[in-house]
Structure 1
């Protein structure tokens, strides 16, 4: 009888210890950061629509640039920073948001100072945006809002992609100095989703690389997408996408076509770029007609 009691008592103790260990090892839900600084345009456009009132205390100065930021009006309501470690140190935020591709010295210094830093990848396509939205929501403690935003993004994108057909006109995203946007870029994924063939990608360009003006003229793309405006002073490189040789292509449509800033970074506003190009594609190559 005593042995049975001892076994029963030992079993109870083991169960209690296991339960206590489980409680100790289970993740503790930390409080959302009260003060958040964003040092990068691409984290700006993810954080601004999701942050709680008063939570985002600073965004990058680029967030106010109409040529780069789709949320430049909203950015006027936030203090701006220039990505300097001194600014962050003095502000003492609970969380710093930045990209893996800029401000490396600042990021490393902040980490050495034991500041909480979250970095977002340089690689951005339409496929990565919903996960980036969800990750930002988790960082800010705004998971419910982020999930609704990501699900809406996915649903709208699926609806646009469902309208694609065999007719796929060629397009070239032509930037300053004659640089074209190729495979592996956000712009490339936007063009594909809208039903265009990216001429630069078909010519082997990955990322961004020079695309000679002579090749543009000889290839005669259906659409040439040029920058909508300049965020800085005039430069000779800005004249290349507007070269008069391109105007000698009578059947090529040349224009901005994409709302300013909407495909600078991977955020919810990228859908506006997809919608604009989808409408253009339907206009110049309707699916109801034979290719």
Structure 2
């Protein structure tokens, strides 16, 4: 029997067995993506989570301890059907080919909207709250996060100036305007040095950035807790090493902003704390 026929048979079986027991809220939620994990962990009851993404437990994941023993999921239809979910949550890349098999089985699925700004996080929180049957919990979280964002703005107003911040990843990449890093820097009350230099989007490794910017603070990430990589230009290139040696620096944990999720606020607050210390030191 072909894989496609196996999937059709599994979809039919699951549709038949699950149709008799509808529920107001999903009780077997499967997260198929690292970005989806962040929203599921923030909003779902742990007893309702049946599986988490294959990246849970890696250094780029903020999975809580209770999630580490759960089965792992990915975007493959056969794996998802085997987990017998009543809701599958995908990241911004969507369900892909799995959508038709999930639909055939009567399994609901929802995907995050793509976005790297704070408004996108709020939109996704509310949408996920509706999908998970946790709209009230999502709204409470939104209000809490917005209060924290207001507090960041007040802290920024109390500083004498708006410091320049440069982001450097272990690969030597930087982040210009329109990235989640840029959003966190601006939420913290800083100026993105790369954006000020005219850059937008995610930037490939280029040691010339060490000479183009004169930041007050350097934010590094993935230096000690990121993806395994042989490309460590950001850590090893002499120009970047000199820049790092001569500027205040903080390292934001990779799990905080592997995707634009609620934890982006944590990154902004960490940057704001460093900017406050710069102000006090000045």
TM-score, structure 2 as length reference? 0.81
Q: Deviations over 1:226-245 (max 9, x none)?
A: 2242444451x123344332
SS in 1 for 2:198: coil
- Structure 2: distance between partners of 1:233 and 1:188: 24
Instruction: State the partner residue of 1:229.
Output: 224
In the alignment, is residue 200 of structure 1 matched against residue 180 of structure 2?
no
Larger Rg: 1
Query: Aligned match of 1:69 in 51, 57, 61?
Result: 61
Farther-moved stretch of structure 1 (223-232 vs 185-194): 223-232
Which of 120, 127, 138 aligns to 2:130? It is 138
Residue 184 of structure 1: SS of its match in structure 2?
Answer: coil
1: CA distance, partners of 2:266 / 2:92: 25
**TM-score normalised per structure 1:** 0.78
Residues 1-291 of structure 1: pairs in structure 2 closer than 5 A:
31-66=24-59, 68-101=60-93, 104-107=96-99, 109-111=101-103, 115-165=107-157, 167-210=161-204, 212-227=206-221, 228-235=223-230, 237-249=231-243, 251-256=246-251, 258-286=252-280
Q: Return the alpha-carbon distance in structure 2 between the equivalents of residues 261 and 59 of structure 1.
A: 15
| Runs of 5+ consecutive residues of structure 1 not aligned to the other structure | 1-29
Distance 2:26 2:254 in 1: 31
Residues 226 and 241 in structure 1, CA contact (< 8 A), matched pair in contact too: no
Between 203-212 and 120-129, the greater mean CA deviation after superposition: 203-212
Q: Deviations over 1:90-121 (max 9, x none)?
A: 22311111023266333455446653221112
User: Is the contact made by 2:234 and 2:240 (CA closer than 8 Å) also made in structure 1?
Assistant: no
Shift of 1:200: 1.8
